[in-house]
């Protein structure tokens, strides 16, 4: 298979399968002389883990990163940054039943049709296990972006039909107060009650992650095919189970008039800014200096415990009752993955804007009056 890489100037290639020996990645273009905080990387990996949440998979991996190249005393040295994470908590027997029949709405059917061979156990490359590599790469990109004052924060905006009310102030401290990562206590309580029902039923449910990229300079992105929002949508839609992407006003903007939607230009401290941010921080594909405001929609997990009518590999109708270890809702664990992909896009855009090595000492364009 091809297309295992993402990015141009800051490029991540991932490898490995869910129940294979290891997951891993190679980063091309990581700036040299960047001191990595390995504890921060481990904390980001921990955010992706189930953490004992009742709605999450019981699969728990140590996820120890083994660095293969590109680091000297925890400082990037300009060589490709390569790493791997061994898979240890493997239970192939849990997936035996899944090898005989197609899971409704799962990619194992299309994989088999395309490659003329079934995916390996646990979903192989289709599995969200691959995203642990993205989290490591994103944690590296985040550390470099900090030098530019860029900060990325995601949270659970909604699960099922239960959503945080519009236009409330988000307390970033409260985001990580519970494994649900929902910064609104009344909404959080309702979502937890819903998830308990879903787990008891053996079903699954989707939701929406909201992500805010702050400290973005003016001038990133290109006006045609590599628009900032186009690259972000590519990044987000590549995450397993993602079915929708919005930036700024998104689909709600279609219900507004131009006079309501337009972000009026104003002066603030001698610089041009806007009074609102319906554009989500991007105009003409190029960042305008405002925060980038995006939402990512996740479908319900396709592998559920309820019996479902399907077709087996002999072409006969059958009923599938899935076993194995699967999330009832992936949204809380996927927040760090969304942040990681956002970080990879921003790092790539900055490096493409300033070559060969972007540096905070080489400021991006700004437009003071």
Give the start-to-end residue ranges of the domains of the chain.
Answer: 5-353
Distance CA 20, CA 120 (A): 8
Q: How far is CA 167 from the centre of its chain?
A: 24
- Residue 180: which region, alpha, beta or left (left: phi > 0; alpha: psi -120 to 50)? alpha
Q: Does pLDDT of 18 surpass 80?
A: yes
What is the per-residue pLDDT across 44-98, written as a single tens digit (0 to 9) for each? 999 998 877 888 877 677 889 999 999 999 999 999 999 999 998 766 555 666 6
**Cα-trace Rg, the chain:** 21
Distance CA 134, CA 239 (A): 10
Average pLDDT on 124-144 reads: 95
Q: Does pLDDT of 167 surpass 60?
A: yes
β-bridge mates for residue 218, sequence order: 288
Which pLDDT value is given to residue 361? 44
Distance CA 223, CA 221 (A): 7
Distance CA 186, CA 245 (A): 26
Residue 175's CB is within 10 A of a number of other CB atoms, namely 18
β-bridge mates for residue 274, sequence order: 265
Q: What is the dihedral of CA 240, 243, 249, 251, to 10 degrees?
A: 180
Q: What is the dihedral of CA 297, 123, 200, 105, to 10 degrees?
A: 60
Q: How far is CA 107 from the centre of its chain?
A: 19
Answer for the pair 63, 49: CB distance below 8 angstroms, yes or no: yes
Distance CA 355, CA 369 (A): 27
What is the per-residue pLDDT across 176-212, written as a single tens digit (0 to 9) for each? 889 999 999 999 999 999 999 999 999 999 999 999 9
Q: Does pLDDT of 290 surpass 80?
A: yes
Q: What is the dihedral of CA 90, 296, 281, 150, to 10 degrees?
A: -20
Secondary structure letter of residue 148 according to DSSP: G
Which pLDDT value is given to residue 20? 87
Tell me the CATH number of domain 5-353, given options 3.90.320.10, 3.40.50.620, 3.60.150.10, 3.60.15.10: 3.60.150.10
Answer for the pair 290, 274: CB distance below 8 angstroms, yes or no: yes
């Amino acid at each position: 298979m091809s297309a295992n890489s993402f990015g141009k100037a800051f490029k991540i290639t991932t490898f490995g399968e869910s129940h294979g020996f290891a997951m891993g990645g190679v980063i091309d273009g990581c700036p040299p002389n960047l001191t990595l905080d390995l504890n921060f990387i481990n904390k980001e990996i921990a955010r992706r883990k189930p953490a004992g949440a009742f709605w999450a998979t019981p699969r728990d991996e140590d996820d120890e990163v083994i660095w293969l190249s590109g680091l000297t005393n925890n400082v990037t040295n300009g060589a490709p940054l390569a790493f791997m994470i061994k898979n240890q908590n493997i239970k192939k027997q849990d997936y035996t039943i899944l090898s005989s029949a197609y899971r409704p709405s799962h990619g194992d059917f299309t994989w088999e049709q395309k490659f003329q061979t079934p995916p390996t156990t646990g979903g192989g490359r289709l599995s969200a296990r691959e995203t642990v590599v993205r989290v490591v790469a994103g944690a590296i990109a985040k550390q470099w972006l900090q030098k530019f004052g860029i900060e990325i924060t995601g949270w659970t905006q909604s699960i099922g039909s239960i959503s945080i009310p519009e236009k409330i102030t988000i307390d970033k401290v409260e985001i990580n107060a519970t494994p649900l990562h929902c910064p609104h206590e009344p909404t959080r309580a309702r979502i937890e009650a819903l998830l308990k029902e879903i787990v008891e039923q053996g079903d699954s449910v989707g939701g929406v992650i909201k992500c805010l990229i702050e400290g973005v300079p003016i001038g990133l992105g290109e006006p045609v095919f590599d628009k900032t929002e186009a690259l972000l949508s590519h990044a987000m839609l590549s995450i397993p189970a993602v079915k929708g992407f919005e930036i700024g006003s998104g689909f709600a903007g279609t219900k507004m008039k131009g006079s309501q939607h337009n972000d009026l230009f104003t002066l603030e401290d001698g610089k041009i800014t806007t009074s609102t941010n319906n554009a989500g921080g991007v105009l003409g594909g190029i960042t305008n200096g405002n925060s980038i405001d995006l939402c990512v929609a996740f479908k319900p997990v396709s592998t559920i415990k309820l019996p479902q009518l399907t077709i087996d590999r002999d072409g006969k109708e059958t009923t599938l009752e899935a076993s194995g270890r699967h999330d009832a809702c992936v949204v809380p664990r996927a927040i760090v993955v969304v942040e990681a992909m956002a970080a990879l896009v921003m790092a790539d855009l900055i490096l493409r804007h300033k070559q060969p090595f972007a540096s905070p000492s080489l400021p991006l364009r700004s437009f003071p009056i």
